[in-house]
Chains A and B, each alone.
Chain A
Amino acid sequence: EPEVTQTPSHQVTQMGQEVILRCVPISNHLYFYWYRQILGQKVEFLVSFYNNEISEKSEIFDDQFSVERPDGSNFTLKIRSTKLEDSAMYFCASRQEGSAGELFFGEGSRLTVL
């Protein structure tokens, strides 16, 4: 069964450092997302990406965040200068055309900012 893959599974970084989280969405999917989940809290939308551009972003997705699809397979989330409150599980997701709610999530990248 095709799946969304994410790397790294866990990253520990110092406050102020840059972090890049990588995702390989399912190959025939056209819509890509990043969500995050702070420990013990709900899953929160960060950004959606379609046709090589951001289609929507949340208030959380400020200037410290950026996304890129550098080639035909990878989809990355960059955090320029990490803060303590960026510590969370970051989930990449993708979907086909059709229902905006039927997402396939990767296993997540746990980010710990010290």
Chain B
Amino acid sequence: AQSVTQPDIHITVSEGASLELRCNYSYGATPYLFWYVQSPGQGLQLLLKYFSGDTLVQGIKGFEAEFKRSQSSFNLRKPSVHWSDAAEYFCAVGPYNQGGKLIFGQGTELSVKP
């Protein structure tokens, strides 16, 4: 079955600390992987995506993610978290070139301590 698992429902980090959000997927074909962020009361915004090539991808707002095929993972990282990063983060997987038929994970809520 195709699925995305985000093991951490809620994470709290101190401002300035590093961040890693975990994402594991199960997908039968070559995956097209995404991270989206949802700020309170807002829709989802794309942070970054990966289909092929360099397994370390850079996104907006200083985020990056690393694709590890052997571990079926696509973890999101940021070296230094800012208070404005507090939001909910969603990992998603889908087929390439077939529109946005994505499977989303359950989401990880990030809180940032001053």
A binds B: no
Q: Which residues of A contact B (CB under 8 A)?
A: none
